[in-house]
Structure 1
Protein backbone atom coordinates (compact mmCIF):
# COMPACT_ATOMS: atom_id res chain seq x y z
CA UNK A 1 0.00 0.00 0.00
CA UNK A 2 2.96 2.36 0.34
CA UNK A 3 6.37 3.27 -1.00
CA UNK A 4 9.11 4.57 1.28
CA UNK A 5 12.08 6.51 -0.07
CA UNK A 6 15.11 6.85 2.18
CA UNK A 7 17.58 9.61 1.41
CA UNK A 8 20.62 10.06 3.61
CA UNK A 9 23.85 11.77 4.23
CA UNK A 10 26.30 8.95 3.60
CA UNK A 11 27.03 7.05 6.80
CA UNK A 12 23.76 8.03 8.47
CA UNK A 13 22.50 4.45 8.11
CA UNK A 14 20.07 4.54 5.19
CA UNK A 15 20.75 0.99 4.01
CA UNK A 16 20.61 -0.35 7.56
CA UNK A 17 17.33 1.41 8.25
CA UNK A 18 15.94 0.12 4.96
CA UNK A 19 16.78 -3.48 5.91
CA UNK A 20 15.16 -3.13 9.34
CA UNK A 21 12.01 -1.53 7.91
CA UNK A 22 11.76 -4.09 5.10
CA UNK A 23 11.75 -6.87 7.68
CA UNK A 24 9.24 -5.14 9.97
CA UNK A 25 6.84 -4.14 7.20
CA UNK A 26 7.36 -7.11 4.90
CA UNK A 27 8.41 -4.71 2.12
CA UNK A 28 10.87 -5.25 -0.75
CA UNK A 29 14.13 -3.32 -0.33
CA UNK A 30 15.54 -1.70 -3.47
CA UNK A 31 19.04 -0.23 -3.24
CA UNK A 32 22.08 -1.02 -5.38
CA UNK A 33 19.97 -3.43 -7.41
CA UNK A 34 18.75 -0.36 -9.29
CA UNK A 35 22.15 -0.40 -11.02
CA UNK A 36 21.30 -3.79 -12.54
CA UNK A 37 17.83 -2.62 -13.50
CA UNK A 38 19.14 0.50 -15.24
CA UNK A 39 21.87 -1.51 -16.97
CA UNK A 40 19.33 -4.00 -18.31
CA UNK A 41 17.00 -1.19 -19.31
CA UNK A 42 19.77 0.50 -21.33
CA UNK A 43 21.32 -2.78 -22.53
CA UNK A 44 24.73 -1.86 -21.11
CA UNK A 45 27.02 -3.32 -18.43
CA UNK A 46 26.60 -2.54 -14.77
CA UNK A 47 30.16 -1.15 -14.86
CA UNK A 48 29.01 1.40 -17.42
CA UNK A 49 26.12 2.47 -15.19
CA UNK A 50 28.42 2.75 -12.19
CA UNK A 51 30.94 4.80 -14.16
CA UNK A 52 28.15 7.17 -15.19
CA UNK A 53 26.96 7.89 -11.68
CA UNK A 54 29.90 7.29 -9.42
CA UNK A 55 32.52 9.32 -7.68
CA UNK A 56 35.63 7.56 -6.40
CA UNK A 57 34.74 5.05 -3.72
CA UNK A 58 32.34 3.07 -5.90
CA UNK A 59 34.18 -0.15 -5.05
CA UNK A 60 32.65 -0.05 -1.58
CA UNK A 61 29.21 -0.39 -3.16
CA UNK A 62 30.09 -3.82 -4.55
CA UNK A 63 30.00 -5.44 -1.12
CA UNK A 64 27.15 -3.24 0.11
CA UNK A 65 24.71 -4.98 -2.24
CA UNK A 66 20.94 -4.91 -1.75
CA UNK A 67 18.53 -7.74 -1.06
CA UNK A 68 16.22 -7.75 -4.07
CA UNK A 69 15.65 -11.06 -5.84
CA UNK A 70 16.40 -11.77 -9.51
CA UNK A 71 12.76 -12.57 -10.19
CA UNK A 72 11.75 -9.18 -8.83
CA UNK A 73 14.26 -7.45 -11.12
CA UNK A 74 12.95 -9.35 -14.12
CA UNK A 75 9.38 -8.41 -13.27
CA UNK A 76 10.18 -4.71 -13.10
CA UNK A 77 12.22 -4.27 -16.29
CA UNK A 78 10.61 -3.17 -19.53
CA UNK A 79 11.55 -4.12 -23.08
CA UNK A 80 12.96 -0.83 -24.39
CA UNK A 81 16.70 -1.07 -24.96
CA UNK A 82 19.22 1.47 -26.17
CA UNK A 83 22.54 3.24 -25.85
CA UNK A 84 23.18 5.00 -22.54
CA UNK A 85 24.64 8.44 -21.94
CA UNK A 86 24.01 10.68 -18.93
CA UNK A 87 20.64 11.89 -20.22
CA UNK A 88 19.49 8.35 -20.97
CA UNK A 89 20.82 7.24 -17.59
CA UNK A 90 18.68 9.79 -15.75
CA UNK A 91 15.61 8.92 -17.83
CA UNK A 92 16.17 5.18 -17.29
CA UNK A 93 16.64 5.72 -13.56
CA UNK A 94 13.39 7.69 -13.35
CA UNK A 95 11.57 4.99 -15.30
CA UNK A 96 12.94 2.16 -13.15
CA UNK A 97 12.04 3.90 -9.88
CA UNK A 98 8.55 4.68 -11.16
CA UNK A 99 8.10 1.05 -12.22
CA UNK A 100 9.33 -0.16 -8.84
CA UNK A 101 6.86 2.15 -7.09
CA UNK A 102 3.96 0.59 -9.01
CA UNK A 103 4.63 -2.64 -7.16
CA UNK A 104 3.78 -0.96 -3.82
CA UNK A 105 5.20 -2.15 -0.51
CA UNK A 106 8.75 -1.22 -1.49
CA UNK A 107 11.57 0.77 0.07
CA UNK A 108 13.82 2.73 -2.30
CA UNK A 109 17.18 3.78 -0.87
CA UNK A 110 18.85 6.78 -2.48
CA UNK A 111 19.12 7.71 -6.17
CA UNK A 112 16.69 10.61 -6.10
CA UNK A 113 13.59 8.67 -5.14
CA UNK A 114 12.23 11.67 -3.26
CA UNK A 115 12.25 13.64 -6.53
CA UNK A 116 11.08 10.91 -8.90
CA UNK A 117 8.18 9.98 -6.59
CA UNK A 118 7.45 13.44 -5.19
CA UNK A 119 3.86 13.33 -6.49
CA UNK A 120 3.25 9.64 -5.77
CA UNK A 121 0.16 9.53 -3.50
CA UNK A 122 1.40 6.57 -1.49
CA UNK A 123 5.02 7.65 -1.01
CA UNK A 124 6.65 8.52 2.30
CA UNK A 125 9.92 10.40 1.99
CA UNK A 126 12.50 10.06 4.76
CA UNK A 127 15.81 11.90 5.16
CA UNK A 128 18.52 10.73 7.55
CA UNK A 129 21.15 13.18 8.70
CA UNK A 130 23.98 12.88 11.24
CA UNK A 131 27.10 14.67 12.35
CA UNK A 132 30.18 13.88 10.27
CA UNK A 133 31.94 12.27 13.24
CA UNK A 134 28.98 9.97 13.88
CA UNK A 135 28.77 8.99 10.20
CA UNK A 136 32.45 8.08 10.19
CA UNK A 137 31.99 6.01 13.34
CA UNK A 138 28.98 4.27 11.79
CA UNK A 139 31.05 3.20 8.79
CA UNK A 140 33.88 2.00 11.05
CA UNK A 141 31.51 -0.11 13.12
CA UNK A 142 29.30 -1.53 10.36
CA UNK A 143 31.81 -2.07 7.55
CA UNK A 144 35.00 -2.90 9.45
CA UNK A 145 36.89 0.13 8.14
CA UNK A 146 39.73 2.00 9.77
CA UNK A 147 39.04 5.57 10.84
CA UNK A 148 40.91 6.96 7.82
CA UNK A 149 39.16 4.59 5.41
CA UNK A 150 35.75 5.47 6.88
CA UNK A 151 36.47 9.20 6.69
CA UNK A 152 37.57 8.90 3.06
CA UNK A 153 34.52 6.86 2.06
CA UNK A 154 32.09 9.27 3.75
CA UNK A 155 33.69 12.23 1.98
CA UNK A 156 33.88 10.48 -1.40
CA UNK A 157 30.32 9.23 -1.27
CA UNK A 158 29.11 12.66 -0.22
CA UNK A 159 30.63 14.02 -3.44
CA UNK A 160 29.11 11.16 -5.40
CA UNK A 161 25.68 11.97 -3.95
CA UNK A 162 26.01 15.63 -4.89
CA UNK A 163 27.04 14.68 -8.44
CA UNK A 164 24.06 12.37 -8.85
CA UNK A 165 21.63 15.08 -7.82
CA UNK A 166 23.29 17.52 -10.19
CA UNK A 167 22.31 15.12 -12.97
CA UNK A 168 18.73 15.63 -11.80
CA UNK A 169 19.29 19.38 -11.78
CA UNK A 170 18.78 19.47 -8.02
CA UNK A 171 20.71 21.09 -5.20
CA UNK A 172 18.06 21.18 -2.45
CA UNK A 173 18.26 17.48 -1.50
CA UNK A 174 18.85 18.13 2.22
CA UNK A 175 16.03 20.66 2.64
CA UNK A 176 13.44 19.32 5.09
CA UNK A 177 10.39 20.43 3.10
CA UNK A 178 11.06 17.66 0.55
CA UNK A 179 10.38 14.97 3.14
CA UNK A 180 7.67 13.71 5.42
CA UNK A 181 10.21 13.32 8.20
CA UNK A 182 13.87 14.17 8.84
CA UNK A 183 15.63 12.03 11.44
CA UNK A 184 18.86 13.09 13.11
CA UNK A 185 20.69 9.81 13.62
CA UNK A 186 23.17 11.50 15.92
CA UNK A 187 20.27 11.75 18.38
CA UNK A 188 18.39 8.51 17.61
CA UNK A 189 19.36 4.87 17.56
CA UNK A 190 18.28 2.62 14.70
CA UNK A 191 15.55 0.88 16.70
CA UNK A 192 13.83 4.15 17.63
CA UNK A 193 14.13 5.49 14.09
CA UNK A 194 12.69 2.33 12.52
CA UNK A 195 9.89 2.12 15.10
CA UNK A 196 8.91 5.73 14.39
CA UNK A 197 8.69 5.23 10.64
CA UNK A 198 6.98 1.86 11.05
CA UNK A 199 4.23 3.46 13.18
CA UNK A 200 3.88 6.41 10.81
CA UNK A 201 3.47 4.24 7.72
CA UNK A 202 1.27 1.66 9.43
CA UNK A 203 -1.09 4.28 10.85
CA UNK A 204 -1.53 6.06 7.51
CA UNK A 205 -2.01 2.81 5.57
CA UNK A 206 -4.60 1.58 8.09
CA UNK A 207 -6.47 4.90 7.80
CA UNK A 208 -6.50 4.63 4.00
CA UNK A 209 -7.82 1.06 4.16
CA UNK A 210 -10.63 2.12 6.49
Structure 2
Protein backbone atom coordinates (compact mmCIF):
# COMPACT_ATOMS: atom_id res chain seq x y z
CA UNK A 1 0.00 0.00 0.00
CA UNK A 2 1.49 3.35 -1.02
CA UNK A 3 0.25 6.79 0.03
CA UNK A 4 1.94 10.13 -0.52
CA UNK A 5 4.71 9.56 2.01
CA UNK A 6 8.22 8.24 1.51
CA UNK A 7 7.63 4.62 2.57
CA UNK A 8 5.15 1.84 2.04
CA UNK A 9 2.99 1.12 5.08
CA UNK A 10 4.32 -2.44 5.25
CA UNK A 11 7.86 -1.18 5.79
CA UNK A 12 9.46 -2.97 8.71
CA UNK A 13 10.22 -0.84 11.75
CA UNK A 14 12.68 -2.76 13.89
CA UNK A 15 12.72 -3.07 17.67
CA UNK A 16 9.50 -3.49 19.65
CA UNK A 17 7.38 -1.46 17.20
CA UNK A 18 5.72 -3.30 14.30
CA UNK A 19 6.50 -5.85 11.63
CA UNK A 20 3.74 -6.22 9.05
CA UNK A 21 4.00 -7.72 5.61
CA UNK A 22 0.59 -7.28 4.03
CA UNK A 23 -1.99 -4.55 3.59
CA UNK A 24 -4.69 -6.75 5.16
CA UNK A 25 -2.62 -7.24 8.30
CA UNK A 26 -1.86 -3.54 8.48
CA UNK A 27 -5.53 -2.56 8.13
CA UNK A 28 -6.66 -5.08 10.75
CA UNK A 29 -4.61 -3.80 13.64
CA UNK A 30 -6.73 -3.65 16.75
CA UNK A 31 -6.39 -1.51 19.81
CA UNK A 32 -4.75 -4.28 21.86
CA UNK A 33 -2.30 -4.93 19.03
CA UNK A 34 -1.36 -1.26 18.98
CA UNK A 35 -0.74 -1.35 22.73
CA UNK A 36 1.19 -4.60 22.55
CA UNK A 37 3.39 -3.23 19.78
CA UNK A 38 4.04 0.01 21.74
CA UNK A 39 2.26 2.11 19.12
CA UNK A 40 -0.45 3.39 21.44
CA UNK A 41 0.66 4.27 24.95
CA UNK A 42 -1.40 5.99 27.65
CA UNK A 43 -4.12 7.18 25.29
CA UNK A 44 -1.99 8.52 22.45
CA UNK A 45 0.31 7.47 19.66
CA UNK A 46 3.88 6.71 20.65
CA UNK A 47 6.76 8.53 18.96
CA UNK A 48 7.57 5.52 16.78
CA UNK A 49 3.92 5.29 15.66
CA UNK A 50 3.78 9.02 14.87
CA UNK A 51 7.04 8.71 12.90
CA UNK A 52 5.64 5.75 10.97
CA UNK A 53 2.43 7.63 10.13
CA UNK A 54 4.41 10.66 8.97
CA UNK A 55 6.63 8.42 6.84
CA UNK A 56 3.62 6.87 5.13
CA UNK A 57 1.45 9.96 4.59
CA UNK A 58 1.94 13.52 3.36
CA UNK A 59 0.96 16.31 5.78
CA UNK A 60 -2.17 17.15 3.76
CA UNK A 61 -3.31 13.53 4.14
CA UNK A 62 -3.19 13.88 7.94
CA UNK A 63 -5.88 16.50 8.38
CA UNK A 64 -9.49 15.96 9.46
CA UNK A 65 -10.55 17.45 6.10
CA UNK A 66 -8.69 14.70 4.21
CA UNK A 67 -11.21 12.16 5.55
CA UNK A 68 -14.27 14.37 5.18
CA UNK A 69 -14.25 15.77 8.73
CA UNK A 70 -13.55 19.26 10.10
CA UNK A 71 -11.22 20.42 12.84
CA UNK A 72 -12.87 22.01 15.87
CA UNK A 73 -11.91 25.58 16.45
CA UNK A 74 -10.30 26.30 19.81
CA UNK A 75 -12.46 29.34 20.52
CA UNK A 76 -15.90 29.08 22.08
CA UNK A 77 -18.97 31.14 21.30
CA UNK A 78 -20.28 32.45 24.60
CA UNK A 79 -24.08 32.88 24.41
CA UNK A 80 -25.65 34.91 27.20
CA UNK A 81 -29.42 35.33 27.26
CA UNK A 82 -32.06 37.05 29.36
CA UNK A 83 -34.95 34.77 28.37
CA UNK A 84 -35.04 31.23 27.10
CA UNK A 85 -38.22 31.81 25.11
CA UNK A 86 -38.07 30.78 21.48
CA UNK A 87 -35.57 28.51 19.84
CA UNK A 88 -32.68 30.83 18.94
CA UNK A 89 -30.37 29.45 21.61
CA UNK A 90 -30.80 25.84 20.50
CA UNK A 91 -30.67 26.68 16.77
CA UNK A 92 -27.56 28.81 17.22
CA UNK A 93 -25.96 26.09 19.35
CA UNK A 94 -26.76 23.48 16.69
CA UNK A 95 -25.29 25.70 13.96
CA UNK A 96 -22.13 26.12 16.02
CA UNK A 97 -21.92 22.33 16.36
CA UNK A 98 -22.33 21.88 12.59
CA UNK A 99 -19.64 24.52 12.01
CA UNK A 100 -17.23 22.86 14.48
CA UNK A 101 -17.43 25.79 16.90
CA UNK A 102 -17.74 25.05 20.61
CA UNK A 103 -20.53 27.03 22.27
CA UNK A 104 -21.65 27.65 25.82
CA UNK A 105 -24.83 29.32 26.98
CA UNK A 106 -25.94 30.78 30.27
CA UNK A 107 -28.59 33.03 31.65
CA UNK A 108 -27.56 36.61 32.42
CA UNK A 109 -28.48 36.03 36.08
CA UNK A 110 -25.22 34.06 36.40
CA UNK A 111 -23.46 37.43 36.10
CA UNK A 112 -25.88 39.17 38.47
CA UNK A 113 -25.15 36.57 41.15
CA UNK A 114 -21.47 37.51 41.03
CA UNK A 115 -20.42 33.96 40.31
CA UNK A 116 -16.88 33.57 39.05
CA UNK A 117 -17.47 32.24 35.55
CA UNK A 118 -15.11 32.01 32.60
CA UNK A 119 -15.27 34.83 30.12
CA UNK A 120 -15.09 33.50 26.58
CA UNK A 121 -14.97 35.28 23.24
CA UNK A 122 -16.67 35.87 20.91
CA UNK A 123 -19.78 36.74 22.92
CA UNK A 124 -23.39 37.06 21.90
CA UNK A 125 -25.91 38.72 24.24
CA UNK A 126 -29.43 37.63 23.28
CA UNK A 127 -31.92 40.19 24.60
CA UNK A 128 -35.50 38.92 24.33
CA UNK A 129 -37.19 40.72 27.23
CA UNK A 130 -39.37 43.68 26.28
CA UNK A 131 -38.61 45.78 29.36
CA UNK A 132 -35.40 47.78 29.54
CA UNK A 133 -32.68 45.47 30.83
CA UNK A 134 -31.38 46.23 34.31
CA UNK A 135 -28.50 43.80 34.03
CA UNK A 136 -26.27 45.91 31.74
CA UNK A 137 -24.36 47.27 34.77
CA UNK A 138 -23.43 43.72 35.76
CA UNK A 139 -22.76 42.75 32.16
CA UNK A 140 -20.28 45.58 31.65
CA UNK A 141 -18.46 44.67 34.89
CA UNK A 142 -17.78 41.16 33.58
CA UNK A 143 -17.56 41.87 29.86
CA UNK A 144 -15.64 45.12 29.68
CA UNK A 145 -14.47 44.96 26.10
CA UNK A 146 -16.64 46.09 23.22
CA UNK A 147 -16.58 42.73 21.45
CA UNK A 148 -20.11 41.77 22.45
CA UNK A 149 -22.54 41.06 19.63
CA UNK A 150 -26.07 41.97 20.72
CA UNK A 151 -29.20 40.34 19.35
CA UNK A 152 -32.05 42.62 20.44
CA UNK A 153 -35.67 41.63 19.90
CA UNK A 154 -36.86 45.03 21.15
CA UNK A 155 -35.50 48.53 20.61
CA UNK A 156 -32.88 48.80 23.35
CA UNK A 157 -30.29 50.21 20.96
CA UNK A 158 -29.87 53.54 22.78
CA UNK A 159 -29.44 51.82 26.14
CA UNK A 160 -26.95 49.29 24.73
CA UNK A 161 -24.91 52.13 23.17
CA UNK A 162 -24.54 53.75 26.61
CA UNK A 163 -22.65 50.68 27.81
CA UNK A 164 -21.19 49.30 24.58
CA UNK A 165 -20.89 52.16 22.07
CA UNK A 166 -18.89 50.14 19.51
CA UNK A 167 -20.69 46.81 19.65
CA UNK A 168 -22.67 45.42 16.75
CA UNK A 169 -26.41 45.15 17.36
CA UNK A 170 -28.60 42.82 15.31
CA UNK A 171 -32.18 44.03 15.49
CA UNK A 172 -34.07 40.74 15.56
CA UNK A 173 -37.67 41.97 15.41
CA UNK A 174 -39.28 40.61 12.26
CA UNK A 175 -36.42 38.20 11.47
CA UNK A 176 -36.74 34.43 11.53
CA UNK A 177 -34.56 32.35 13.80
CA UNK A 178 -32.63 31.10 10.76
CA UNK A 179 -32.02 34.68 9.55
CA UNK A 180 -30.73 35.71 12.98
CA UNK A 181 -28.52 32.62 13.17
CA UNK A 182 -27.08 33.36 9.73
CA UNK A 183 -26.26 36.92 10.76
CA UNK A 184 -24.67 35.84 14.05
CA UNK A 185 -22.53 33.17 12.36
CA UNK A 186 -21.44 35.67 9.70
CA UNK A 187 -20.32 38.09 12.43
CA UNK A 188 -18.43 35.53 14.54
CA UNK A 189 -16.65 33.67 11.70
CA UNK A 190 -13.96 36.35 11.24
CA UNK A 191 -13.29 36.28 14.98
CA UNK A 192 -12.84 32.51 15.15
CA UNK A 193 -10.89 32.35 11.91
CA UNK A 194 -13.50 30.94 9.57
Smaller-chain TM-score range? Answer: 0.3 to 0.5
Larger-gyration structure (1/2): 2
TM-score, structure 1 length as denominator? 0.35
TM-score, length-normalised on structure 2?
Answer: 0.38
Specify which structure has the bigger relative contact order, considering alpha-carbon pairs within 8 angstroms and separated by 6 or more residues. 1
Return the structure number with greater helix share: 1
Report the structure, 1 or 2, having the larger strand content: 2
